[in-house]
A and B are shown apart, each in its own frame.
Chain A
């Protein structure tokens, strides 16, 4: 394992902050796959997953060094200050590390750091996996989110990741400044993984995604272990018309009654919104369609319009 640092910056207290990269280089060196985690400082599943991947690769190097053919770069904690504070945004700069990239980037320190990180990824990767958890409000099944214009390249890779779901959605302004979008535009296939919820680690979920990542590395020819690639499930592939979002009609506290990952029938109860001041149930949220419950609200405090759940139901006849 080779350790490098990118963009070391001196803080007012004198200690540097920097982005660490761990690399494992095999005999051939190619292809090169990079994993990146912690762009948002409260999303810890990806950071833990990187730890598991580093641990696995170190073990593999000791046990079966010839199994590593290509190169794996791992950037386990790219926003160390925010991770240290466990906040989505870096507490000092208050800017989103996944909203900084475009044709003309700003001069703020996060913008400079993102540019350096993007350069590093572009110069050293044939494929990138960007690991995210959900925000504070929603818990998600393991899923790969793909912007429509990149679907032909990315779906074959996403099928190898052991995800529960692949969600292909149209581009919109909010994605244009992200690492995923800018790397894909630079013709480096980049998978954006969304799994779990922020500020928590779900070990079983990490096992699932780790197996997917090891499978993907075999599929890409980076690994060729004697035990072979772990088996992966076939994800459900959905497009926007096949995703049904349920939003709160009232403000209150949301209490879920359904379970994430459940196959629902139309009309099944998802949960209820209660008015805590009056002791009333103000809303019973039900599934508008049958399908896989892949997003479920976890944060009880709910305002009108808040997302409560998402249900995926592939329409028949789609290839």
Chain B
């Protein structure tokens, strides 16, 4: 069912409507909130949520007999309506990064209202999944991000089937983010990051879609009559496993690897060339063995900017404990 949870009047035309889609199934008391579109150019999450909406409608209408809804699911496909309409990460009118607008305020300015509405509607969920893309100029291999997860939450994250579960360091602005708001409200929350802003990668979206369906089955929100299957193995990385590679000079960064690659120490990530003369200035090498979770995709780079993030696998083979 589609429901308008907030109406944002505009000065020069019709109001914008913030909607959620929700399904009520069975007696399972658990619930899941899926949020995408905090940034207007994080399109993979929106694309996945749009597929999930069609899928859950089919299930609810009995048109997909392998699945049956057993819990409550709600999807907020676009939260930053103005930014999406502008085709930009943030709405140019306030330039506010919406993932720094939480907890939001129901009586505040437009962006804060939308943040406040989504927080209020999702903070009593059992589970929360925030779908996003990498930061501007970067591409992420699909992976799960979590903050101080306990053992059970780590295990559960593996059922999202993305292969990489990563504990993220809390940025200075963490308290202004939706994931933090979920955690303080005792929602088991994860962020799923995949791809880059402005692009829909259908292959990545397929993986996210399957992973989220498997997660709903694992958590009992969805019943599947096709038999159970274990998720493909994931590796759990702690914050100390992160290695950020900085560019030693400015120019072009020309990558030779792709996000998700497993690299050996000393392997080439790419090279930096002079922007105008094309002279090769530096080769960029992997400082350690590791999984390439984030890679720069915008080729023009300043001296000292991050090129890549590698996750170092310290104790292979211990997953899932």
Residues of A that sit less than 8 Å from B by CB = 9-14, 88-89, 92, 94, 96, 99-109, 112, 173-174, 176-177, 247, 250-253, 275-277, 301-307
Contact = CB atoms under 8 A, between A and B. Distances in A.
Contacts of A275: 11
A173 B10 contact: no
B8 A303 contact: yes
Given A107-B306, A301-B93, A305-B110, A173 B249 contact: no
A276 B10 CA distance: 11
B112 interface: yes
Contact of A105 (B95, B100, B107, B172): B172
A303 B11 contact: yes
A305 B303 contact: no
B9 A250 contact: yes
8 contacts: A9-B302, A99-B100, A99-B172, A99-B173, A101-B172, A102-B173, A112-B304, A247-B108
B110 A304 contact: yes
Interface string B167-183: 00111110110000000
Nearest to B93: A301
Contact of B251 (A12, A173, A176, A301): A12
A114 to B, nearest CB: 9
Given A303-B110, A304-B8, A177 B304 contact: no
Contacts of B169: 104
A304 B9 contact: yes
Given A12-B300, A13-B275, A177 B172 contact: yes
Contact of B303 (A9, A92, A173, A176): A9
Contacts of B136: 94
Interface string B287-312: 00000000000001111111000000
Given A100-B172, A173-B176, A301 B303 contact: no
B95 A305 contact: no
A302 B9 CA distance: 10
Interface in B65-94: 89, 93
B321 interface: no
A303 B109 contact: yes
Contacts of A253: 11
Contacts, number: 102
A173 B173 contact: yes
Contact of B305 (A94, A109, A173, A277): A109
B175 A252 contact: no
A12 B275 contact: yes
A307 B250 contact: no
B171 to A, nearest CB: 6
B123 to A, nearest CB: 16
Contact of A92 (B113, B251, B302): B302
B304 A303 contact: no
Residue of B9, B100, B112, B169 contacting most chain A CB atoms (<10 Å): B9
Contact of A10 (B10, B171, B249): B249
A250 B105 CA distance: 17
Contacts of A12: 250-252, 275, 300-302
Contacts of B244: 107
Nearest to B95: A88
A18 to B, nearest CB: 12
Contacts of B152: none
B261 interface: no
B95 A108 contact: no
A242 to B, nearest CB: 19
A109 B171 contact: no
Given A173-B173, A305-B109, A109 B304 contact: yes
Interface in B4-60: 8-13
B101 to A, nearest CB: 9
B246 interface: yes
A197 B9 CA distance: 26
Contacts of B275: 12-14
Nearest to B309: A107
Contacts of A307: 109
Contacts of B170: 102, 104
Contact of B11 (A10, A107, A109, A251): A251
